[in-house]
Structure 1
């Protein structure tokens, strides 16, 4: 495939009954989606919210790098090392452009969880006196407060709980509405004592898209830093971190058609410059003596040790693939799929959607409860039909508790999902309900 945009599968289809709904027909670009499961049944993959599948262009990019350019980056004077470093930094540039930021505002991590921990440990190290006068802006005391929301994935909650426990700062949170959105009427939780506001761009449970400017505006009024979990948004809608005005953001490659083992931290240039490092060791130092060490400027300051070079190359290919589709077109496609899912679920007896029941300002990530049936049983019966969904609390126990359940079943779509997939899923769920009736 020469370019994504030239793919014959990337088209409006007018020749069958799925013409309106399937703006994108990309499944053939994803080798795994052609396999069968459970006794030869075609795979219907609706677990993209946990991990997306990879197009052939991403698989090929990693394979080509490992076969022809594999070497340690930022070291060695030989040609292969130069080629590896060039590919590594080209990936940084490509990802930066994809999310609307500058080249040196992108830090590689192994996943979004590590990226968020990098920020919290930077605050902790500053509180311990590391980083000098520049880092003093991050020092926390028992008079300070950290604000999160009830909608957060554990990756954007537990690290802040730990930071509060270690520094004496108070952790507060914005509740969710009955619809499953961050309650913007409760922004008075953010006060003059607030130093950090950490929140999700789009929920991995309710699918609700956050009104980021409202929260950023309130945080800026009190001088608080903003930290955005963009794991669910970066792969499914246009994202521009500079335009959003946030200070830090994190997302993962494996949720956006890329490899596992690579994540991204965005940080505003001046903020990264002042942040003390989290992991230390080789590759991030300037001068090392037996008594002390000085560190390189960002982003290298935060990239200790041997880096995941092939994975960054794969992520570069993934954002190129997404850009070839067009994030606006992809978002419209998934809006349509969300509408189909929600409409179908509304007709299944005993099903309650956890989150907005309309497709406006939400992703095609739909968690639901089936009355009287455990989510694991729902998932197993769907799996017997070749339909892959997620079951459990999705690393978001507080929002489940807010809905009065311990767990849920979640179906989540991606670029390769079709209306036929949604129809098969809804038919399968009817069979689940009939089976347990």
Structure 2
């Protein structure tokens, strides 16, 4: 029986299965199972970043140390900062950064790096020593002494805090804030550091500074040369060496030492200033002017550099330019790019030299009203300084002679 017109014929004969088709179907099913089981798990998902291998923190330290050993302090600083992104609680990175910041005169950053190490361990004697030294180099002598004494208490056999404290006390004496007791303590501390670590750079540097302060210049030279032998990439060591060679005096070696500092710190005005003073002492006024101008270009708001340049112009008898620069050093003013320059209050040498040279230049060009004021200030303010008193009297003599008509004022020459 079947239904007419229906597509469903119940008596229709079934076709026989095609064996080839069955085999192909089985193979496709097997391939699909293989892909699902083995291929898909190994295929990364789309639009997901491919993971990259993480750099070991130790490799940063190795690279930074190699850079520091080559004198590439700024690059080493950058690598240590990258290391801290990977391992922010590693105190050795903070300590290494603090030392490098000190070498590059970035004292505030050195203070912060030492402080970060102290956050991990408040009794870290190395961190305290670096912190105290940074404070001393920033002029905070009282706080520096307290911190360095704390470092010594925690690690009394470590020569470095003794050396740092000796140097800080020496700087305190040099600044005029210390006395003979302070100097004697600095001497004792430098000897203590020498007894504990005679071959350390820090010991040689501290001993050298103390010897310089006590006018033992030849001995200071030996100490600074020994410090440079430990690390030949620290510009301040060459400046100290040059100062002592100049004091001996050995001008050629002083010039060489100051020159060695320039490629290590090309934007630091101090090497140029020291070179200008050395060439002034040798009578090479053209070179002295060139280096004084370069020093000022690197620090156009430093009144000492205006005074230095003004003194050299006076020596060349260019009184107009001498007055121009010395007036800024003494009275204050603005730099060529419009920045304010704070004038220097009268004090003993070297500031007194700027004052009496300014007064002499004024007197020689007939500006005696202001020149006499300068002379009187010198006689009252630095009466114990013979050179200043003598020059103040010379200012008054010149102006007195001009008033009497026996000495005409020097006519200022035109300056290009």
What TM-score do you get using the length of structure 2 for normalisation? 0.26
Task: Answer 1 or 2: which has greater helix percent.
Answer: 2
Q: Flag the structure with more relative contact order, 1 or 2, with Cα contacts below 8 A and sequence separation at least 6.
A: 1
**Higher strand fraction: Structure 1 or Structure 2?**
1
Structure 1 length as normaliser, TM-score?
A: 0.25
